[in-house]
Amino acid sequence: MEAQSSRVIAGIDIGSLTADAVIMEGAKLLAHAILPTGANSETAARRAYTEALAAAGLRESDVSSVGATGYGRVSVSFASRVVTEITCHAVGARWRFLDARTVIDVGGQDSKVIRMGDDGRVEDFAMNDKCAAGTGRFLEVMAKSLETRIDLLAELARGSLTDVRINSTCTVFAESEVVALVAGGTPKQDIIRGLHESVADRIYGMVRRLRGAAPFVMTGGVAKNAGIVQALASRLRAEVLVPEEPQIIGAVGAAIMSGAVNCER
């Protein structure tokens, strides 16, 4: 599965929270854009694509193919190819880490684990799309309850001195636990660390059920939280690799698939 190196290709990943677009020349990433999805997936896709093109200094006529993926992929009317998220995250992970065997993608409202063979083909996958627990939305709700920003969670958790267990796997009940802990005087940093451990436990359970093997690659917005990455690595007893920009890996996979030779849709 190889992209034609002389062609400029594009990929768009429409998620529940963000629209991610990349511009590539063969396997080389030229530019990317990450914007809120908002209420209209088509509009978000167009805006992200336009911004990525501008960052690359290119026009639409310079692009030979556009791949679309994500939950809103069917709304990208200008895409030349539509590909499932599972395939795109597997391809994108192998683009960055050639030996990747298991992809852990945790996005705004769902999480998925993808197991690949030595050749990079998807062997099996599992998804948690019925509940927001363990996702970016879960962390947003908890950050709000703790009156802090989601991007500060990892930094605050580093100051934790005491283990705190968050037992609920449901976002609503977990929020009630957090409120009770705050009312009881539990330090905020200990609660946040407990939340990170809870998310890591949930993801680890999915990896075990799928019999995932190293090397592990984590993608999606939650991969930017170093506290969760560290907690997950501890459970897996293995390094968890994180791309420089984990949110665009699905879009990278979509771009590569759009320009791939002899690939099935």
Residue-wise pLDDT tens digits, 49-84: 999 999 999 999 999 999 999 989 999 999 999 999
- With a cut of 70, say whether residue 130 has pLDDT above it: no
Q: Which CATH superfamily is domain 1-97+247-265 in?
A: ATPase, nucleotide binding domain (3.30.420.40)
The tokens for 85 are 């998220």
- Split at pLDDT 50, 70, 90, the class of 165 is confident
Q: Which fold has domain 99-242?
A: Nucleotidyltransferase; domain 5 (3.30.420)
Task: Give the model confidence (pLDDT) of 134-164 as tens digits.
Answer: 788 888 888 888 999 988 999 999 998 888 8
Indicate the burial class of 62 (C-beta count within 10 angstroms; 0-12, 13-18, 19 or more).
middle
Is the pTM higher than 0.95? The answer reads no
Check if the beta carbon of residue 53 is closer than 8 Å to that of residue 3.
no
Check if the beta carbon of residue 10 is closer than 8 Å to that of residue 21.
yes
